[in-house]
DNA sequence: GCGCGGGGTGGGAGCGCTCCTAGACTCGGT
DNA sequence: ACCGAGTCTAGGAGCGCTCCCACCCCGCGC
């Protein structure tokens, strides 16, 4: 180590450079001075070799058809996670896991050079979740899936159900009664919970949920469009729609417009996520806001705790709130 | 190394595990067999320590106000780059560099643990570019900026000018003559080139470019809206708009609709990028397509070459083509 | 004045790998 | 039968760092 040349022994220099404990002020000054002069950069590989930590965390995206990767949800989580990790000197490694081959490669990579994983899994890809869990690698999940809803895992999620309740209640309060919903796939807790919130809100207003007003989409614009079309066929008297995300809400609005319905006069529309899409939609979309950036930050913080040695799994649920715009 | 225990010496095992050269088939079989049995995973830190390569490449996003990070352009590049790198066993590290502090941290991180950088710089952030270049680290840029347009750098860009020419020519051929353009900031070559294409196309049809039909936006929906509003004030007779990206085109459409213009009957609109936004816009937006995923793939390939020892800078320009939808 | 404890330091050991060199072994030519 | 060229292998060296232990020195208590 070059820093030694300017003062003391390697041991002392190392002590100074990685959290000075039991070092004299004199030595500290000498070492830091020398390090600055020599523009010293510690070799992280060497450090990893001996500490067993790589200072690298994977951001796993199980990207399937719906191109989760370009989803604003992903972007927000990534940004938040990056912020939390940066202050701990940990870097984020992008890891896609679309197919089985990629999943294997990911596990290979993960067990060999990552300290932990942040997992965003679009669908409840149990194979991925299971193999991650069984690998024993520290991992924190974004959102519960059927497989990941257990308390033995670490995860961060939003208050999907109460968010949905707030949205549907808002519609009910404005006199809407034939409220349809376009939810997500049944294997995603986010979709299930939002659907459940829809039912709860209706019942609390004495309205029995009409199952013919329910459609299961895939969180894409196109599926929102198709779902809305089917709802219109089955229930032409629909006067509102609550979609489980903004993209589907936008798709639904297109279907409504094509069917000659005026938004919000004939049919009110509410989305979920409060993404940029919602704000720039035509008309601007009322949406349930969830702070994805904060979710990412929390996920990373939990993961750092876990890597730091925490044993008991932690879960965190983030609040949501309704952002009212012109579509409702 | 555990693999030795099942056959030969460390040296031989190492030779087998990292590209078998001068090894007997017998030894190969023995080592691979033993490695499989022991579920051997090489320690990448140790390997890095001796080879001097980390197998890590940074994806640098100079994220400013416009949230480049959630831009579909970024997502595409990231996906393409990931694909190219994965087959070389290289991982992608996400590196944001919004402010000066982050930039410093990034450089620290880069020089110490990354083999190279893929740089997406929203604005022509010369400070970032300069410091990267002077650090001597292998880097490939996405798109030229004023600072990065030089041939001593490595970059990948799209045929911005000819893409713009194609778009504007398409409008001219359909009889439009009062064609406005909303371009990007002057410090981005992408914007400048697209503006230049607009001029060229007009002149080739004998139309002298009217500078009052030019607006400079910031690539956001909102700026598209504002720019269009200003154009309508200055030139109410405008009959077409060419925007330098889809988001601004969408913003422009909103402004046009608010002004009572019908798209495309009164005013035709064309965007750039052919992102999902374009397809799902109302009405569906004609747009100049550029294959961002391929750009990312190429960037990564060039970077690998550079890291592999290639000295002479390479640049690559990708073709664009017009995707005609109902807005024009 | 002697022993003991604690803050501070020096340097050996070793993390797991690849590189390199010396040497062993094989085979064909004379 | 010998030798040289070619092929493959064993194991030492060392990458740059942290950990650990032995040690030194100083001040205090008996």
The structure tokens listed for B222 are 């909102």
CB contact under 8 A, B94 and A91: yes
Looking at residue B64, its pLDDT comes to 59
Looking at residue B275, its pLDDT comes to 85
Looking at residue B70, its pLDDT comes to 59
Contact B188, B145 (CB under 8 A): yes
Residues 40-79 of A with CB under 7 A from strand C: 46, 49-50
Q: How many residues are present in chain B? A: 328
The 10s digit of each residue's pLDDT in B92-112 is 998 887 777 777 778 878 888
Looking at residue A66, its pLDDT comes to 47
Q: Which residues of B111-127 are buried (b: 16+ CB within 10 A; e: fewer)?
A: eebbbbbbbbbbbbbee
Q: Report which of B212, B213, B288 is spatially closest to residue B249, judged by C-alpha positions.
A: B288
Residue B144: pLDDT band by 50, 70, 90 thresholds? low
Residue with structure tokens 């993404």? A275
- Name the pTM for this structure: 0.88
Q: How far is the CA of B47 from the C1' of D8 (A)?
A: 23
Distance from CA of B289 to the nearest CA of A (A): 17
**Mean pLDDT, residues A274-290 taken together:** 87
Contact B30, B6 (CB under 8 A): yes
Residue with structure tokens 């329910």? A214
Q: Is A266 helix (H, G, I), strand (E, B) or coil?
A: coil
CB contact under 8 A, B91 and A95: yes
The structure tokens listed for A320 are 């949501």
Looking at residue B66, its pLDDT comes to 47
Residues 51-110 of A with CB under 7 A from strand D: 51
What's chain B's average pLDDT?
86
Is the C-beta atom of B50 closer than 7 angstroms to strand C? yes
CA dihedral A268, A273, A279, A282 (to 10 degrees): -40
d(CA A140, CA A120): 9
Query: What are B's interface residues with A at a Cβ cutoff of 8 A?
Result: 41-46, 48-49, 54-56, 59, 63, 67, 69-70, 72, 75-76, 78-79, 82, 86, 91-96, 102, 105, 108-109, 111-113, 221-222, 250-251, 254, 257, 276, 280, 282
Residue A261: pLDDT band by 50, 70, 90 thresholds? very high
The structure tokens listed for A292 are 């994805």
For residue A274, is pLDDT > 80? yes
Beta strands B139-142 and B286-290 are unpaired
Task: Kindly state the percentage of chain B with pLDDT values over 90.
Answer: 51
What's chain A's average pLDDT?
87
Looking at residue A34, its pLDDT comes to 82
Highest mean pLDDT among A112-116, A297-301, B112-116: A297-301
Looking at residue A99, its pLDDT comes to 74
Looking at residue A64, its pLDDT comes to 59
The 10s digit of each residue's pLDDT in A121-135 is 766 566 777 788 888
Strand C nucleotides within 7 Å of a protein CB: 7-21
For residue B68, is pLDDT > 60? no
For residue A290, is pLDDT > 60? yes
d(CA B276, CA A69): 13
d(CA B149, CA B144): 5
The 10s digit of each residue's pLDDT in B195-209 is 999 999 999 999 999
**Mean pLDDT, residues A162-181 taken together:** 97
For residue A200, is pLDDT > 50? yes
For residue B166, is pLDDT > 60? yes
Residue B67: pLDDT band by 50, 70, 90 thresholds? low
Residue A22: pLDDT band by 50, 70, 90 thresholds? confident
Distances (CA, A) of B230 to A172, B188, B281, B286: 41, 22, 22, 22
Which letter does DSSP use for residue B4 in this model? G
Residues in A touching B91 (Cβ below 8 Å): 93-95, 109, 113
Highest mean pLDDT among A69-73, A77-81, A141-145: A77-81
Is the model more confident about A269 or about A33? Answer: A269
Q: Report which of A192, A197, A317, A326 is spatially closest to residue A249, judged by C-alpha positions.
A: A326
**Least confidently predicted of A168-177, B71-80, B99-108, B178-187:** B99-108
Looking at residue B21, its pLDDT comes to 66
Looking at residue B9, its pLDDT comes to 72
The 10s digit of each residue's pLDDT in A296-308 is 999 999 999 999 8
Residue A70: pLDDT band by 50, 70, 90 thresholds? low
Is the C-beta atom of B34 closer than 7 angstroms to strand D? no
Among all residues of chain A, which has the CA nearest to that of B70? A75
For residue B133, is pLDDT > 60? yes
Looking at residue B146, its pLDDT comes to 55
d(CA A110, CA A104): 10
**Least confidently predicted of A107-111, B73-77, B121-125, B150-154:** B121-125
Phi, psi (5° rounding) for residue A259?
-90, 5
**Least confidently predicted of A57-71, B147-161, B273-287:** A57-71
Looking at residue B121, its pLDDT comes to 74
d(CA A270, CA A172): 12
Q: How far is the CA of B55 from the C1' of C7 (A)?
A: 42
For residue B49, is pLDDT > 70? yes
For residue A221, is pLDDT > 50? yes
**Least confidently predicted of A283-287, B2-6, B54-58, B72-76:** B2-6
Looking at residue B136, its pLDDT comes to 84
**Least confidently predicted of A106-110, B7-11, B83-87, B313-317:** B7-11
Residue B65: pLDDT band by 50, 70, 90 thresholds? very low
d(CA A288, CA A160): 9
**Dihedral of CA B77/B81/B82/B83: which sign?**
positive
Is the C-beta atom of B24 closer than 7 angstroms to strand C? no
Is the model more confident about B189 or about A316? Answer: A316
CB contact under 8 A, B44 and A250: no
For residue B324, is pLDDT > 80? yes
């Amino acid at each position: 180590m070059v820093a030694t040349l300017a003062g003391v022994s390697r041991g002392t220099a190392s002590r100074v450079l990685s959290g000075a404990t039991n070092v004299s002020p004199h030595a500290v000054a000498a070492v830091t001075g020398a390090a600055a002069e020599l523009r010293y950069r510690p070799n992280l590989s060497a450090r990893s070799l001996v500490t067993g930590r790589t200072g690298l965390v994977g951001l796993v995206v199980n990207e399937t058809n719906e191109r989760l990767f370009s989803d604003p949800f992903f972007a927000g989580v990534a940004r938040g996670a990056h912020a939390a990790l940066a202050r701990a000197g940990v870097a984020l490694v992008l890891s896609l896991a679309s197919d089985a081959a990629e999943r294997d490669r990911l596990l290979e990579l993960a067990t060999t050079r990552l300290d932990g994983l942040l997992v965003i899994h679009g669908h409840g890809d149990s194979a991925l979740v299971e193999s991650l869990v069984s690998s024993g690698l520290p991992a924190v999940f974004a959102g519960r899936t059927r497989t990941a809803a257990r308390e033995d895992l670490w995860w961060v999620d939003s208050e999907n159900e109460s968010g949905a309740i707030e949205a549907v209640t808002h519609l009910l309060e404005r006199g809407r009664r034939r409220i349809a919903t376009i939810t997500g796939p049944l294997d995603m807790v986010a979709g299930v919970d939002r659907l459940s919130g829809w039912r709860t809100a209706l019942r609390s207003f004495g309205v029995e949920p009409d199952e013919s007003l329910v459609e299961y989409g895939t969180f894409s614009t196109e599926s929102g469009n198709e779902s809305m079309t089917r709802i219109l066929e089955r229930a032409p008297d629909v006067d509102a729609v609550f979609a489980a995300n903004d993209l589907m809400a936008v798709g639904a609005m297109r279907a409504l417009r094509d069917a000659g319905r005026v938004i919000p006069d004939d049919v009110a529309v509410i989305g979920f996520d409060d993404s940029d899409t919602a704000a720039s939609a035509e008309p601007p979309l009322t949406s349930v806001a969830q702070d994805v950036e904060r979710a990412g930050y929390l996920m990373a913080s939990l993961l750092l705790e876990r890597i730091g040695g925490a044993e008991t799994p932690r879960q965190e649920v983030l609040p949501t709130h309704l952002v009212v715009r012109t579509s409702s």
